[in-house]
């Protein structure tokens, strides 16, 4: 083999291999080791997640880089607002529902064996019917006030922003709610003395309405609509069932006492755990348990109101009866709101 058969040598002083008409080959490796690509910004990269990295690249979505204002700058559809801490994967949850055990009657019960069940006199039936109408009139007034406040907090954006940015007001209303609840349940004098009983009930209603509106302001409007609709259907079905069924829930006072303790203790544990780290399944477990327990308590309190079972509420305790039903309905709404909001993530 002659010397001319070997490939030509490479001399760096002569430029690129096989002549100078070809460009220098690119460096090996991923971009960044061989030099920046055309249009790529030099380090450090921009800190704003919405700033384009390359020329011609569209900017990020407003509110955190996800369609619909998702994490971290805005809520998912139906999810709490605002965004959660980095790395959590979930937005910040709203405040915990009121941690007060369901209302259990003590000295307001009277035997109702003879009322309307064994042909009692018309006077007793008329008094009980007047009592039922009075209780539901007070209850309707309470629900109207709560619905109005929830609507304002949900649909008026400045009001919703204000209550979310001032959580101290939520805890003030929580204190008012707790104190008035204890006074109305445990103290016979203020509960029966007019007009102090109505004033305390009004204060109680406003405090719980503010808390409910604050929690609702963390959720999407469609979620609030759906929770209201489901709550109304559940309450109507439970009420009709209690008027028609032969099952006597008033005989199960021990069972309802245990259920009240269980939901109260579970709520305390959930509040402590969720204050350190948000655990979605724990939140949903507590919400599901609360929905079931307060639905059962709604049936129990409704039968106490009707008066044709073993136990009934005295005709003088219309404030206590309205308060019991009102708390059950609002708690069902709050728990359903949290379940539906999480399901729409």
Q: How many CB atoms lie within 10 A of CB 280?
A: 14
Cα distances from 310 to residues 78, 84, 238, 303, in angstroms, run 44, 50, 19, 9
> E strands, the chain, where?
109-111, 311-313
Q: Residues 49-62: pLDDT tens digits? A: 555 555 555 444 44
**Residue 89's pLDDT is what?**
39
Please spell the DSSP secondary structure of 234-276, one letter per residue. Answer: HHHHHHHHHHH----GGG-HHHHHHHHHHHHHHHHHHHHHHHH
User: Looking at the predicted structure, is the pLDDT value of residue 25 above 70?
Assistant: no
Q: How many CB atoms lie within 10 A of CB 74?
A: 18
The DSSP symbol for 342 reads H
> Distance between CA 308 and CA 314 in Å, rounded?
12
> Distance between CA 301 and CA 185 in Å, rounded?
14
Task: Calculate mean pLDDT across residues 282-303.
Answer: 91
**Backbone φ/ψ region at 98: left (φ over 0), alpha (ψ -120 to 50), beta:** beta
Quickly state the pLDDT bin for 63 (edges 50, 70, 90): very low
> Distance between CA 239 and CA 321 in Å, rounded?
14
User: Looking at the predicted structure, is the pLDDT value of residue 344 above 50?
Assistant: yes
Give yes or no for a contact between 323 and 289, defined as CB atoms under 8 angstroms apart.
no
> Distance between CA 257 and CA 249 in Å, rounded?
12
User: Looking at the predicted structure, is the pLDDT value of residue 225 above 70?
Assistant: yes
Position with higher pLDDT, 200 vs 87:
200
Quickly state the pLDDT bin for 75 (edges 50, 70, 90): very low
Give yes or no for a contact between 291 and 83, defined as CB atoms under 8 angstroms apart.
no
> Distance between CA 205 and CA 286 in Å, rounded?
24
Mean pLDDT of the chain: 75
Quickly state the pLDDT bin for 322 (edges 50, 70, 90): very high
Q: Residues 104-135: pLDDT tens digits? A: 666 555 554 444 443 444 457 788 888 999 99
User: Looking at the predicted structure, is the pLDDT value of residue 16 above 60?
Assistant: no
Q: Residues 228-266: pLDDT tens digits? A: 999 999 999 999 998 888 888 888 888 888 888 898 888
Please spell the DSSP secondary structure of 125-154, one letter per residue. Answer: HHHHHHHHHHHHHHHHHHHHHHHHHHHHHH
Quickly state the pLDDT bin for 172 (edges 50, 70, 90): very high
Q: Which two tokens stand for residue 178?
A: 């707790």
The DSSP symbol for 37 reads P
């Amino acid at each position: 083999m002659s010397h001319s058969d070997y490939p030509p040598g490479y001399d760096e002083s002569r430029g690129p291999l096989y002549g100078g008409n070809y460009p220098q080959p690119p460096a090996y490796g991923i971009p960044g080791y061989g030099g920046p690509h055309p249009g790529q910004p030099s380090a450090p990269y921009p800190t704003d997640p919405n700033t384009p990295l390359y020329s011609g690249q569209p900017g990020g979505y407003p509110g955190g880089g996800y369609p619909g204002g998702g994490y971290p700058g805005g809520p998912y559809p139906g999810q709490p607002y605002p965004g959660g801490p980095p790395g959590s994967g979930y937005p910040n949850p709203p405040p915990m529902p009121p941690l007060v055990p369901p209302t259990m009657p003590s000295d307001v019960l009277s035997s109702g064996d003879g009322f309307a069940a064994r042909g009692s006199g018309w006077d007793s039936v008329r008094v009980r019917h007047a009592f039922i109408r009075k209780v539901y009139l007070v209850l309707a007034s309470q629900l109207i006030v709560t619905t109005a406040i929830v609507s304002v907090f949900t649909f008026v954006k400045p009001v919703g922003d204000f209550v979310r940015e001032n959580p101290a007001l939520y805890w003030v209303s929580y204190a008012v709610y707790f104190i008035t609840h204890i006074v109305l349940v445990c103290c016979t004098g203020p509960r029966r003395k007019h007009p102090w009983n109505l004033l305390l009930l009004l204060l109680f209603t406003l405090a719980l309405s503010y808390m409910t509106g604050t929690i609702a302001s963390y959720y999407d409007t469609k979620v609030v609509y759906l929770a209201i609709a489901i709550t109304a259907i559940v309450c109507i079905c439970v009420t009709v069932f209690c008027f028609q069924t032969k099952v006597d829930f008033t005989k199960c006072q021990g069972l309802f006492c245990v259920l009240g303790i269980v939901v109260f203790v579970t709520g305390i544990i959930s509040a402590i755990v969720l204050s350190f780290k948000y655990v979605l399944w724990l939140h949903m477990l507590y919400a599901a348990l609360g929905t079931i327990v307060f639905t059962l308590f709604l049936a129990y309190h409704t039968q106490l109101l009707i008066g044709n079972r073993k136990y009934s509420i005295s005709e003088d305790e219309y404030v206590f009866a309205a308060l019991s039903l009102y708390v059950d309905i609002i708690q069902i709404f709050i728990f359903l709101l949290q379940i539906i909001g999480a399901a729409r993530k």
